[in-house]
Every structure is written in C-alpha cells, then in structure tokens.
Amino acid sequence: MFKKTMMIIVIIAIALMLIFGCGKEDNPFDPNRGGYNDTPQENLSFIDTTALDPGIDGEIVDVDPSTGEIIIYFLDFMDASTVNTSNIIVRDTTNGTSITGATLTYYPEIKKAVFRGTFSDDAVFVVTLKSDLKNNAGIQLDGNDNGLIDGSPYDDYRYRLYTGTGNVGDVDFVHPEIDWVTPGTTNGVDTLPTIAVLFTDSDIDTTTLTLTNFTLMKTSSQVSVSCTLLTAALNHISFQPRSKLDEVTQYTVTVECASVFDTCGNVLLGFVGENDGWVANIPDYTWDFITEAIDTLLDGEPPQVSVAYVSGEELVVRFDDDMDTSTFTTTNIKVFNNATKQNLVGSIINEYDGKGFRYTLENAVSGTLYKLWVSKDVKEAAPGNWYLDGNIPPNPNGVGGEWNDDYEKTFVMP
Ligand SMILES: [Ca+2]
Ligand SMILES: [Ca+2]
Ligand SMILES: [Ca+2]
Ligand SMILES: [Ca+2]
C-alpha cells in the first residue's frame, strides 16, 4: 500500500512538473563537475547565433524564383581559407539531394558568409558549421560552447532550416539532459524511497532506461543495492530498492549517461546547466542522499557552520553540532589575506563545548579583508561522524563532504 502511494505521489509530481514546466531540483550535486570545473575556461565560440539569417529553425525564402540564401555572421575575423563548403555544409534531410548550384561567398571585412543555391521545396535542411572553421588567430569553432577543444563532430555547430511545409521537428539532434531528480541531494530520506530521474525532452529511448544504466549503491562500501524498475517512460524513469535501506546511511545514485539515448540516438548529456555538452566521453551523473534516522539516538544530519564572527582579537567559528575537534587542524582551517592570499598566522583554540573554535587574530591588520576557509574534511563527533556541509552554493544541501562543501567567509579586521 505504501509503495503504491509513493508511486502515485511521484507520478502526480511528474505530471505537475510537465504541466507547470520542469522545476529544477534546488540543490543538484554532480561530483563529476569537479574535474573540469577547475579547468580554465576559454571562449572559443565565434558564431553569432542570434544573427543567423534565416535564424535557427527558420524558413529559407527564395531571393529570386529559384535561389535561396543562408547567411552566417561571425563574431571574429575569420581565417578565410577555412570558410568554404567543406566546413559549411547544408544537407537536405528530406530528399537527401544535394543543393544544386551551391556557392559560398565570404565577405571578410564584414565577417559574413553567404551560402546560395536551389533548395528543394517542402524540405528540412541541416546546416553544419564544422569545428575546422578558424578565426584569424587560428582558434577553432567551439560548437558545443564548453570552452574546450573537442573536435568534430562534438564542436561542429548544427542548426535546422526549412522550405515550404518542411517540419524542422522531423529532425532531432537535440540531446536529452537530466532536468530533475528525486530524492535530490538531501538527508532524512525514507528508507524505501522512490528514485526518479526526469529528462528535458519526452523522447527517451525507453529501452535504455534500465537498472544497469541507473544504479544505487551504499556510498561507503560501494556495494550495489538491488532495485525494482517502477516506470520507464519517454520523459522519466523511476525505481525503488527491493527492501528497506539502512537508516542514517549515505547512498549514491549513478546515471550512466553515455548509455542513455533519445529515440534518435542522441546521448544523454548530464544534468541541465551542469554538463560539458556533447563530448566524446560523457561522464556519469551521480548524487548522494542520506536516509532518515528511525532510531532517534542516531544522527543523520551533517554539520554546518552556524556563525563566524570577529570578537576582539579572535575569529569565533561555531557549528550546529558537536564536532570531532581532532579535525580542527591547520590543514583544515586557514585564514588568509583575501587580496594577496597570504596566510594569516594564528592559533586554533577549541571551544570548551566542542561546538567550535577560535582563530587568534593578533597578526591581522585593521581594515584589511581576510578570508576564513574551513575544509569539507572537518567532521562532527559520534554518533554522526559526518563531514561538513559547507556553504559554497548550492550548499548546504543536507549532504556533507562533497567536493564543493568547503566553508568560506570574508571579514574585515576591525
Ligand atoms: Ca568544445
Ligand atoms: Ca532529442
Ligand atoms: Ca549532525
Ligand atoms: Ca553539501
């Protein structure tokens, strides 16, 4: 009965989200972001997508009785030798015929390329701007707009056009993304949760929605939890552990994105707004949750910093739970000059109640901006023993020790 009720709730929630637009989970967490988040981002994109003429999904209109034009404006001055019909390809996806009388003219001084030809009637066309297009500085097109050089086809930029009654919806190269997950990154989760993943487009190949591609494991031991598939639909999957999970225990859900496709074979990219676009090796998307405490003597809530303030010559830092003060070390706690990043030497004095520490500020200069940094590796005392749930957005989110769970706060020395 309980199972059924949960399922109905999830189905209603999904239905509501479809009606009211897909509400993004507040605090999604993707540890895979860590790897490329540290990579310096470059902006290699130089197609002015807002100035394409016709625009994305637009109609090609004949400029004379039989000739149409596709105009592409670049934001950069281009290497003219790369602006050619090898790198700007127009494909008639309806009739499979080549565009007759096709010519490409590049006007370097106004950064404009014009593709002219005779386009078949009532057809859909895909324009592909290949990653081999280069600007004058020799930088290639970043078609997937991730600041990284991925090469063709990942960095090719594609858009659709049509003539007459051609329907651009017939051609799908839009990759699905994860729009919402439940339970999200949080604690207090029911020990028999319904786990659901909702996708941005309702076009998932449901044969890829399997419990091989969507898995649950106990985080500490990496031991898989056997689950039952509840629903696999064009826009979501839901599943449930076969038996109750352990209480106050952290679990990891993994979506093997590289094995999930839409009905046109476009691979799942990851969480919307948090992925690198279409790349060669799509990383798994994972998130963690912590189950509820049924035995109320247990503690399923990771600690957070409750306050951090200057008092006289000390910086007072307090947590919302009893802490393992052996983790209050100079490795885990630092204060530094916010401008120069130079370490501010001071002592760490544990608070008598075990809920915080004081950092001495005898070397701080009045009027200077400093930053306190507390590592995610700071832990609370037993019975919780959880790592810090820091404050770097989107934290705190109820799960501690994640890659972005350090705590930071700037303060001016009075
Ligand atoms: Ca790229
Ligand atoms: Ca699609
Ligand atoms: Ca706690
Ligand atoms: Ca967290």
- How far is ligand 3, taken at its centre, from the CA of residue 303, in Å? 5
Please, which pLDDT band fits residue 32 given cuts at 50, 70 and 90? Answer: very low
Average predicted confidence (pLDDT) for the chain? 90
**Residue 191 vs residues 216, 225, 236: alpha-carbon distances, Å:** 13, 12, 22
pLDDT of residue 137: 87
Ligand with an atom nearest the CA of residue 27: 4
pLDDT of residue 47: 87
- How far is ligand 2, taken at its centre, from the CA of residue 202, in Å? 8
What is the fold, at CATH topology level, of the domain defined by 305-412? Immunoglobulin-like (2.60.40)
**Token pair 């996708």: residue:** 199
Residue type, 85: T
Asked whether the predicted pLDDT for residue 30 surpasses 90, the reply is no
Please, which pLDDT band fits residue 42 given cuts at 50, 70 and 90? Answer: low
Q: How far is residue 290's CA from residue 366's CA, in Å, rounded to a whole number?
A: 43
User: Which value, to the nearest 10 degrees, does the dihedral of the CA atoms of residues 315, 321, 327, 331 take?
Assistant: -40
Please, which pLDDT band fits residue 24 given cuts at 50, 70 and 90? Answer: very low
- How far is ligand 4, taken at its centre, from the CA of residue 307, in Å? 17
- How far is ligand 3, taken at its centre, from the CA of residue 316, in Å? 20
Residue 23, both tokens? 């509400």
Q: How far is residue 167's CA from residue 132's CA, in Å, rounded to a whole number?
A: 29
Q: Are the beta carbons of 164 and 119 closer than 8 angstroms?
A: no
Asked whether the predicted pLDDT for residue 159 surpasses 90, the reply is yes
What does the pLDDT average to over 309-321? 97
Q: How far is residue 127's CA from residue 55's CA, in Å, rounded to a whole number?
A: 11
Q: Are the beta carbons of 389 and 375 closer than 8 angstroms?
A: no
DSSP for 189-229 reads B-SSPPEEEEESSS-B-GGG-STTTEEEEETTTTEE--EEE
CATH class of 178-290: mainly beta
- How far is ligand 1, taken at its centre, from the CA of residue 264, in Å? 22
- How far is ligand 1, taken at its centre, from the CA of residue 359, in Å? 44
Helix (H, G, I), strand (E, B) or coil at 169: helix
pTM of the model: 0.82
pLDDT of residue 26: 33
- CA-based nearest residue to 73, from 107, 98, 23: 107
DSSP for 289-315 reads EEB--SSTTS------EEEEEEETTEE
- How far is ligand 2, taken at its centre, from the CA of residue 264, in Å? 7
- Between residues 16 and 261, which one has the greater pLDDT? 261
What does the pLDDT average to over 54-71? 92
What does the pLDDT average to over 247-259? 98
DSSP for 309-372 reads EEETTEEEEEESS-B-GGG--TTTEEEEETTT--B----EEE-TTSSEEEEE-TTPPTT-EEEE
- The CATH architecture one would assign to domain 49-170 is Sandwich (2.60)
Residues with CB under 5 A from ligand 1 (ion): 142, 144, 146, 148, 150, 155
Ligand with an atom nearest the CA of residue 144: 1
Residues with CB under 5 A from ligand 4 (ion): 389, 395, 397, 399, 402, 405
- CA-based nearest residue to 265, from 181, 179, 171, 125: 171
pLDDT of residue 91: 95
Please, which pLDDT band fits residue 257 given cuts at 50, 70 and 90? Answer: very high
What does the pLDDT average to over 83-94? 95
- How far is ligand 3, taken at its centre, from the CA of residue 399, in Å? 10
- How far is ligand 4, taken at its centre, from the CA of residue 188, in Å? 14
- How far is ligand 2, taken at its centre, from the CA of residue 287, in Å? 24
CATH 2.60.40.1220-classified regions of the chain: 49-170, 178-290, 305-412
Q: How far is residue 370's CA from residue 343's CA, in Å, rounded to a whole number?
A: 9
- How far is ligand 2, taken at its centre, from the CA of residue 179, in Å? 14
What does the pLDDT average to over 94-111? 92
Beta bridge partners of 135: 78
- How far is ligand 3, taken at its centre, from the CA of residue 329, in Å? 20
